[in-house]
Amino acid sequence: MTSSPIAPPSPTLPTHDCSSSYPMTPQAARLARQHTRRRLTSWQWQGDIDDAVLVVSELVANAARYGKVAGHHVGLRLALTEDGGLLVDVSDPVLEFPGFGTGVWAGGAPGESGRGLLVVRRLALHVGWFLRAEQGKTVRARLRG
């Protein structure tokens, strides 16, 4: 597993791909978990669906909490790759990602923030982020199939 401030492009073309958006509320993570479980099951993904659901939940919850900007949503993209892997992209409208290199977000009390990203890093093969041309950033996690 590696982490970098810039997520590399997908190594292979997606065989399945879907995108959705959620309101910037605490309920976003629950909705994203449900959607992810249904989608990966319908795609008959061979990877660990529970791990994927946890990664999605943590990234969406963090985007909804730290990327909150009025009038914007959390974006989620799931894509299965030719080699059986899963790409999870979670987008928000904020350009910065303070504390990404340490796994701790700015603004949280010590010991209360950043644990979700540590979990994501343990479950994913790669975790990184990149700026989007439209606005904001995308956090990308790649999971093994």
Q: What is the pLDDT of residues 104-136, one digit of tens each?
A: 444 444 445 567 888 999 999 999 999 988 789
Q: What is the pLDDT of residues 11-64, one digit of tens each?
A: 556 679 999 999 999 899 999 999 999 999 999 999 999 999 999 999 999 999
CB 134 within 8 Å of CB 10:
no
Which pTM value belongs to this model?
A: 0.83
Structure tokens at 99: 């504390």
Structure tokens at 19: 């995108």
Structure tokens at 80: 């299965």
CA distances from 6 to 54, 68, 122, 129 (A): 22, 21, 18, 5
Give the residue-averaged pLDDT of 85-91.
Answer: 97
